[in-house]
Amino acid sequence: VVAPDTVIEKFGADALRMYVLSTNAPWDDLKFNWSEIETVHRSLNILWNVYRFPLPYMILDHFDPAIASASFESVRGAMRPEDLWILSRVNSLIRDVEHAMDEYKLHVATRAITEFVLDDLSRWYVQLIRPRTWTEADDPDKLAVYRSLYDVFTTVTRLIAPFAPYLAEAIYQNLEGSGLESVSVSGTGDDRSVQSVHACDFPKPAQNLINEELEADMAEIRRIVEAVANARQKAKRKLRWQVRRVIIAPVADVAARAVGSLKSVLAEQANAREIVLLDVGSGWDELGVETVPDMTKLGPAFKKDAGKVADAIRAADARSVMAEIEKTGRYDLDGVTITEEMVEFRRTVPEFASASDFSHGTVYVDATLTPEIEADGYAAEVIRRIQDMRKELDLAVNDWISVTVALSDERTTGLLHGKEESIAEEVRAKEISIGDISVAGDLVKDWNVEGVEISIGILG
């Protein structure tokens, strides 16, 4: 027997409440499981962290959702497909939760909210919009992100309030206390500023914001991105490093449509310099061809000479053999005739590339390393480590730093020359020096990046 007080003391009342409501249908018995409630607790923490992520930027930029320039109507024209997608998803979520609650399926409602927070908001949308939070304060593109996030947060807090009342109230009050006033959310129909989330009306879906085709396209892009990640793994190329090309060979219109409409999202998430979309059903013309003899057919036809014929088939130019057989159904080879049933043709991926299938096609990742890609890759590695060091020093988002970077490898040093400005912009450095120099600062750390020894110093 597990006492509720014991669980609440360790994980909090919200985690217990969400766990009880989401684990089973209300009419089924609950078999308590510590690891499952820990998972629920982590999910609630993710919602809190996702909410906390943009808040410093919003405060720094004095974002006020109540003013006309930040209203939904004002920024809608600047919204990217991913902004419209997250607003469509959150309104679809309202509809799904409302339907589940009408049928007393609280487990379905709570699971839908959790899946939205984890999969759509945290793992996808926030990853897409991170770079946009670092632009100028009055950039319409940035305001579109802020407005989208604000509408999502205020909607999710109202949705989750019956299930996680303390977390919902904490987020709601933080929005109030941060200087972001409670105003109407696009499509909710609530125009009142109230003292508590629990005094707010339960949200209603804005049907005009639900775009099922966009949601389907984004789901397809996510499947493609997963395939790209698998292909990258085969090529031993980390996501932080760009790849030269990602080639999409779709076998269905749904994949072609998704890539065509969301190519920028795919390029961003795949970290590819170029996205190449082939025609539906066509193959990549840079694939190799291998001719494979079928000994079950060659044996009866050529008897003791079957092995020699098979060797000759393997040695012949595969593309020529395939082209002739596709044209005439036969190929003359050293005085013997090879028919189409005697051979099989296999497509081979070039050495510079790797491949992975998804539900509606195949992706090919061109992992060719160019000096430009290497330079960007090492710059990304340096940026990540400087950001880690900023966190270690507990610096505020708007704190300026000075950076020194010393490298053990002359070639890598040369690659990073010319990247100083872009690195400085990413890490908010007023000064940056890269080369064979001495390193000093409030924090100095040594790193090994792809076999290259790098020392970084930060002065706050």
pLDDT score of 150: 92
Whole-number Cα distances in Å, 183 to 50, 137, 164, 197? 20, 21, 22, 12
Give the pLDDT of residue 180: 56
Are 154 and 94 in contact by the 8 Å Cβ rule? The answer is no
What averages of pLDDT result for each successive group of 10 residues across the chain (460 residues)?
88 93 83 90 96 88 84 92 98 98 95 97 96 81 93 95 95 71 43 77 95 98 98 94 97 97 97 97 92 92 92 91 91 90 93 96 97 95 95 91 93 93 93 91 93 93
Residue among 366, 364, 124 nearest 227 (CA): 364
* β-bridge partners, 337: 332
DSSP 131-199: GGGGS-TT-HHHHHHHHHHHHHHHHHHHHHTTTSHHHHHHHHHHHHHTT----PPTTT------S-GGG
Residue of 124, 329, 105 whose CA lies nearest to 215? 124
CA-based nearest residue to 175, from 202, 157, 198: 157
Report the pLDDT value the prediction gives residue 185, as an integer from 0 to 100: 42
Residue burial 39-74, b: 16+ Cβ < 10 Å; e: rest = ebbebbebbeebbeebbebbeebebebeeeebbbee
Q: In the CATH hierarchy, which top-level class contains the domain 288-348?
A: alpha beta
The three-class DSSP label of residue 29 is: coil
Residue with tokens 């989401």: 22
Which residue from 47, 51, 93, 91 is spatially nearest to 72, judged by alpha carbons? 91
Residue 272 DSSP symbol: B
- Helix H or strand E encompassing 378: helix 371-392
CATH H-level, domain 4-209: superfamily: Isoleucyl-tRNA Synthetase; Domain 1 (1.10.730.10)
pLDDT of residue 193: 64
Neighbours of 13 (CB within 10 A): 15
pLDDT at position 192: 44
Question: How confident is the model at residue 380, as a pLDDT?
Answer: 94
Give the tokens for residue 50. 């996702």
* Predicted model pTM: 0.85
